[in-house]
Amino acid sequence: MSTATRPLVDIRLDGLDTRGGAPPGLRGVSVHIRYGEFFTFLGPPNSGKSDVLRAIAGFLPITQGRVLVDGDDISTVPPRLRGVGYVFQDGALWPHLPVREHVAYGLRQQRLAADEIERRVATVLDRLALAGAETLKPEKLTLEQRRRLALARALAVEPRVLLLDEPLANLDPTARKALRLELTKLHRDLAVTTVHATRNAADALALSDRLAVIDGGRVLQVGEPAVLYHQPQSRAVAEALGPASFLPVHVVEVRDLGVVVETQRGDRVPVAGSGAYQLGDRGLLVLRPETLAMTEAAMARGPGIPGHVALRVFEGARHLYEIEIGTSVPLRVELPAVGETRVFRLGDRVRVEMSSETVILVPDA
């Protein structure tokens, strides 16, 4: 498991169209995945995210476009010759083989010497906390261990490209965080160019150098996690990246540093940096729960939206509130449950306050 024997590569997807896979297939997917990057395709079920991985691996035929790895067009190269390690969503483990044989299988296909096979098997099993489980079959492993085994099998052959298809799906929260951290460390140490598919925004944000939101077989937006989170270009991108409330608004004032928008009920909210909007334009105000604050209605000052507490959930480190504001969809507010934070009760009249720097305005498409 050494980068010295595995030069870094980049991947260019050039106008990929496919048939088969998740309908409607990929439609004109063009993305550049940089050298040694951890790149994620984030999208809902049947969005095309797994189809991208299958097309790179050669498991899904391309009807148009190209896959280039380090400048070489591999679109017609057989899967076994592409230098790809693939971790399938369900692990694709063989029930009759013990852990050691899973990891050794690909190395034997490479016709490596027996001592080199043993060295690599021992190294990767130790790295992925599977040392001591060499003789166990998959049925004797926990779900987290099975995911680690699938990853160990893929990494042992020292692939040029690592493809991860929802490797953390269905894990309990503790196991998910542990394996997410392990993936981060592995990528830091090995720097293998990695393409990851997931529907989980937290995984995408935590793991990725850059990510693409994909839906309907089309890429909607590409960028660094923080940029996409704070500057989505559409409602679909904003929804893909985590919980938010969406309020229909229209622009009532254009300023040098932003705009002022008005809700259907007449509440006015300033939005910074929305220079593309003009007076009268309609849009959606995107409000992330963790960016909002609340105060008692009688003590409120400055811009905000009045309402009353309709729901409160305590989650240890935070309180989650739903605030009824007279629309069909309540506002969701997340407040820390430590320090001097006020705890509101059901029915309390409140004002939801927000900063012009953290609210987001997207087109009402």
- For 41-108, give the DSSP string: EE-STTSSHHHHHHHHHTSS-EEEEEEEETTEE-TTS-GGGS-EEEE-TT----TTS-HHHHHHHHHH
Instruction: State which residues of the chain have pLDDT below 50.
Output: 1-5
Q: Do residues 212 and 240 touch, judged by C-beta distance below 8 A?
A: no
Instruction: Calculate the average pLDDT of the chain.
Output: 92
Burial class of residue 104, CB neighbours in 10 A (0-12, 13-18, 19+): buried
pLDDT value of position 2: 45
220's torsion region: left (phi>0), alpha (psi -120 to 50) or beta? alpha
pLDDT value of position 90: 83
Please list, in sequence order, all residues whose beta carbon lies within 8 angstroms of the beta carbon of residue 90, skipping any fewer than 6 positions away. none
164 φ, ψ to 5°? -120, 110
Q: Do residues 12 and 68 touch, judged by C-beta distance below 8 A?
A: yes
- What is the rounded distance in angstroms from the CA atom of residue 131 to the CA atom of residue 153? 14
- What is the rounded distance in angstroms from the CA atom of residue 24 to the CA atom of residue 223? 24
Q: Do residues 309 and 321 touch, judged by C-beta distance below 8 A?
A: yes
- Torsion 332-337-339-342 (CA) sign: positive
First to last CA, the chain: 48
pLDDT in tens, 179-210: 999 999 999 999 899 999 999 999 999 999 99
pLDDT in tens, 85-99: 999 988 789 999 999
Instruction: Tell me which residue has tokens 């409330």.
Output: 245
What are the structural domains of the chain? 3-239 (3.40.50.300), 243-363 (2.40.50.140)
Q: What angle do CA 134, 136, 137 make, to 5 degrees?
A: 125
pLDDT in tens, 304-349: 899 999 999 999 889 999 999 988 889 999 999 887 678 999 999 9
pLDDT value of position 240: 97
pLDDT value of position 340: 64
Which residue, among 198, 185, 186, has the nearest Cα to 42 in the 3D structure? 198
pLDDT value of position 356: 92
- What is the rounded distance in angstroms from the CA atom of residue 184 to the CA atom of residue 80? 27
pTM for the structure as a whole: 0.93
Strand partners, 196: 40, 164
